[in-house]
């Protein structure tokens, strides 16, 4: 199986590090023109220059956007789609602050909703008309295993990501007749800055060492290791390809078998 995404245009959110970077790299390796999106222009520029270019027609670019400021994001993403078309949309954002449900304010949930739901909905709604006009497209949402079983100390993420799953499943049914597929990836534990930050937060809350917490997480995974961002990118590349043309409305665990232990 040779995944060829030549001439396809991809937009990947939160893509200067971690899972987003792994996705952008794999899509570029398959020949796609990749737009990477994040809030730090210096990091975006440096990362874009590292993306592989396989042929003269392959072009990469970056888009500076802050997911945490929805009104500003809305203007930026609207301008982007007024000038660009996208065949592959990867909805990925940075996660909200960790913490228990008890003590979170309604304002905290509203901020998380803006970050995790409204940005995804806005971007998808802008991408869909051209996908439908062209007769197809791929939308892939980076989600979490927490939609199946809430993860302790991630109340905001647990709540809002579940809403995204329900919304995307509903939308996938509506647009399937246009050959637009929408799928979710339920993320397990990956070797990223996000997991390091969560481990540090848990260490501060519990007094346990980061090493102990990391080892405990790895021990829960049947494969006994964290996933690597490139492994994530490989699944996204498959879902973005013609080989996945009959897969839609799914939520696929990518977790080294962790989902089966719940």
> Do the Cβ atoms of 121 and 77 come closer than 8 Å?
no
- My answer on whether 138 and 214 are in the same domain is no
Number of independent structural domains in the chain: 2
Is 170 strand, coil or helix? helix
| Predicted local distance difference test score (pLDDT) of residue 260 | 62
- My answer on whether 179 and 196 are in the same domain is no
| Predicted local distance difference test score (pLDDT) of residue 62 | 98
Q: How far apart are CA 73 and CA 61, in angstroms?
A: 17
The two tokens of residue 98 are: 């960790």
Beta-bridge mates of residue 141? 91, 184
- My answer on whether 201 and 130 are in the same domain is no
State pTM to two decimals: 0.93
Which ranges of the chain have pLDDT less than 50?
Answer: 262
CB atoms under 10 Å from CB of 25, counted, come to 22
Sign of CA dihedral 201, 113, 117, 31: negative
**Domain assignment of residue 72, given as a range:** 9-188+229-254
| Predicted local distance difference test score (pLDDT) of residue 198 | 81
| Predicted local distance difference test score (pLDDT) of residue 151 | 86
């Amino acid at each position: 199986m040779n995944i060829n995404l030549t001439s396809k245009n991809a937009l990947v959110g939160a893509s200067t590090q971690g899972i987003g970077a792994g996705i952008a790299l794999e899509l570029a390796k398959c020949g796609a023109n990749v737009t990477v999106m994040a809030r730090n222009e210096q990091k975006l520029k440096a990362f874009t220059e590292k993306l592989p270019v396989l042929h003269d027609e392959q072009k990469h670019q970056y888009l500076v956007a802050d997911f945490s400021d929805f009104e500003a994001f809305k203007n930026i993403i609207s301008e982007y789609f007024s000038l660009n078309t996208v065949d592959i949309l990867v909805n990925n954002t940075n996660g909200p602050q960790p913490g228990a449900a008890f003590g979170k304010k309604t304002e905290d949930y509203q901020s998380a909703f803006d970050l995790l739901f409204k940005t995804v909905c806005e971007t998808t709604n802008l991408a869909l008309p051209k996908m439908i006009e062209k007769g197809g497209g791929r939308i892939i949402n980076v989600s979490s295993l927490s939609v199946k079983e809430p993860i302790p100390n991630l109340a905001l993420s647990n709540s809002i990501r579940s809403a995204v799953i329900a919304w995307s499943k509903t939308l996938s049914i509506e647009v399937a007749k246009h050959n637009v597929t929408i799928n979710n990836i339920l993320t397990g534990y990956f070797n990223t800055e996000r997991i390091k930050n969560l481990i540090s937060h848990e260490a501060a809350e519990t007094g346990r060492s980061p090493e102990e917490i990391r080892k405990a997480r790895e021990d829960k995974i049947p494969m006994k290791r964290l996933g690597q961002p490139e492994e994530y990118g490989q699944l996204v590349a498959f879902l973005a390809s013609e080989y996945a043309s009959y897969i839609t409305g799914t939520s696929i665990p990518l977790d080294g078998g962790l989902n089966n232990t719940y």
